[in-house]
Amino acid sequence: MIRERIVGVGRRLVRRPPVPPPVRLVEVRPPNDLLAGRTALVVGGGRIGRATSELFLSAGARVHQADVRPGLAPPGATEHVVDVADTASIDELWNALGSPVDILVNAAGYQPPVAAFVDADPAQWRRTFDTNVIGQMYLTQLVGRELKKSHTPGSMVLIASAHHAITGGWPAYSASKAALVMFMREIALEWASSGIRINAIAPGWVAHPDEPHANDFPHTPLGSCAIPPHYIAQAALFLCSDRAAFTTGSVMYVDGGLSLRSYRTAALTDRADPHVRRFDSG
């Protein structure tokens, strides 16, 4: 936990040993008919995608789970293998669905290896944008085109990041998430008259509680811990349900207050802290 201590006329930030989060971590189950009769495509089978598929299934939706890696879909979901950086692979997925989709959650993402920008590989930038932006745009277009053709309302959620608006030492990743958010805002306006809603979620650091350092992350003001993925899934459920019928073009932050920090409030940490991105002065 980071606490402020007044020292003379100045002040400094002192890191204290971790304490239990001041919030009670609970998993709230939705009514099992909240998404009844709806068909969802959840792209990305990692922490957020898997948690979202599980929650949507419990809310009564038919779920298609897609990821570049097989074996990640939860029981009850229809699994597809797709590389969202490849539009031909997305076409194969679309042809294999077999039923209309009225909910889309784009949770696939790629973060290039951490490196100083002067040493960064342009091929990694392209892969980052192909996965985090172009593939997401193409999937959104396919789902939206079908919804508009059938005059069916629908809802979509793009998983962005708190780093679409704050720096994190990942230029390509942060830039891709910023592009994704602006794309979302443009299409939310264009499709609003068709009853198609599109929103974004901006998570902070997400990890299961049993992962290394998940319970000791001082840069998250609320709890000094990682955010369990089911909290992102809960936000996606709200945005995709009729409870958010008048919500479109929004960015919902689920980052524990991470984006509230500035250079004046950032924690002073020692050089051994594994969470801090260090830059040399050369």
Which positions are catalytic? 173
Burial (Cβ within 10 Å: 0-12, 13-18, ≥19) of residue 35: buried
CB 159 within 8 Å of CB 255: no
Q: Which two tokens stand for residue 144?
A: 């939206």
Q: Which two tokens stand for residue 225?
A: 């811990």
Strand, helix or coil at 22?
A: coil
b/e map of 176-205 (b: 16 or more CB within 10 Å)? bbbbbbebbbebbeebeeeebbbbbbbbbb
Strand, helix or coil at 73?
A: coil
Q: Which two tokens stand for residue 25?
A: 């971590």
> What's the number of CA atoms in the CB half-sphere (13 Å) around residue 12?
7
157, β-bridge pairs? 105, 199
Q: Which two tokens stand for residue 139?
A: 């999937």
Strand, helix or coil at 243?
A: helix
156, β-bridge pairs? 104, 198
**Alpha helix positions (H), the chain:** 47-58, 87-97, 122-129, 135-150, 171-191, 229-240
Q: Is 71 left (phi over 0), alpha (psi -120 to 50) or beta?
A: left
